[in-house]
Structure 1
């Protein structure tokens, strides 16, 4: 390669560098940006956002607001009840038309798998651990504990109701109709509020296993969200009389 060719390559490289030069651009609000790649602007000093906190109760949300450690009461705050198991606390819009997420609350709840088949022992333990004590819950525990299915003919199913053998005493057996539908109150939202009750379909299979199927069309979710919103509205007014807030549900 000749000296002339080297000079041509060097000039071309210089032209390319000039075209890729990172230029500082200032908008009419005084914010400065640099062109990281041609036509891609990045702000030099963007607004900084804190990492949000995560808590597991509505009581913790109230404690955070009342303590005012981050001086959030200077501004309007937005509490968004996203679902029965999620509440988020935002600041009002800033100059960039963005909200800062400060806190997320998600309750710690027992797990029950609707539509899953449980053997008698698992079903009874789950009922006691995941549902509030109530008449239908106790009836289900008693019924499922007494089921005795030795062959497929021990279970009579007409598609709506089921009849099976149950243990009446130490040695006696009798037929009994499975309770259906049942009204239960599972732990499905924050423990500070009332747990909505719902109707469930109770079913048995030929192995004597039990399952619950939701039958309220998700109505409980709306009720739970309103319960959470009411709790926050009632308690925030007492915690901070001058607090400017809105609860969205």
Structure 2
């Protein structure tokens, strides 16, 4: 009888949660026969495995999206109104895009011109940049220099240094950073003197604490309104997501 019931049991096992089929209620012979039938079915229909994996990945992605939504809601003020992160684009824009970035991150560098193009073509996006140096000492030095520039010379100077550091490929030592600053009309030595200040340390520490709460472990990571985008995305894809969010309002 088991020989005729096995295909049905196999289908049930593949379609239902594991706990729905109690193998402990079978005899040793029935379990062996059942396992052999399942194996034979999968060998004859290997596409079922890929279908199951796809379903599992979709469920995991949905769970991650829901968890990220909750994290963004819980940390809303720290993400969007921390009082110190640089704000660019259109400060009054109807869409806010937040980027956690690292100057030594190749994907951050790849995203920079695409984000700039998105801001220029859209004209109604508020961009927030969060300094999140996680790729070693050179990353930390670069972030300290950029933040110190903001404290010394303001938002426009920060933007200029930020963009320059995104294109800078050398070692960010004292000589190179002073030369970079002076090339932008800034007092490089004065900026250097602020790099280890309490204010700079506080900004980096607060952003790191926020990233930890948001479970961010890589750059770039974007927050688009209520949604977290973990990793690099082409500008066209972000533009499509922004259009979708506007359509939902």
**TM-score bucket (shorter structure):** under 0.3
* Structure richer in strand, relative to its length: 1
Query: Bigger radius of gyration, 1 or 2?
Result: 1
Larger RCO, structures 1/2 (Cα 8 Å, 6+ apart): 2
Q: TM-score, normalised by structure 2?
A: 0.22
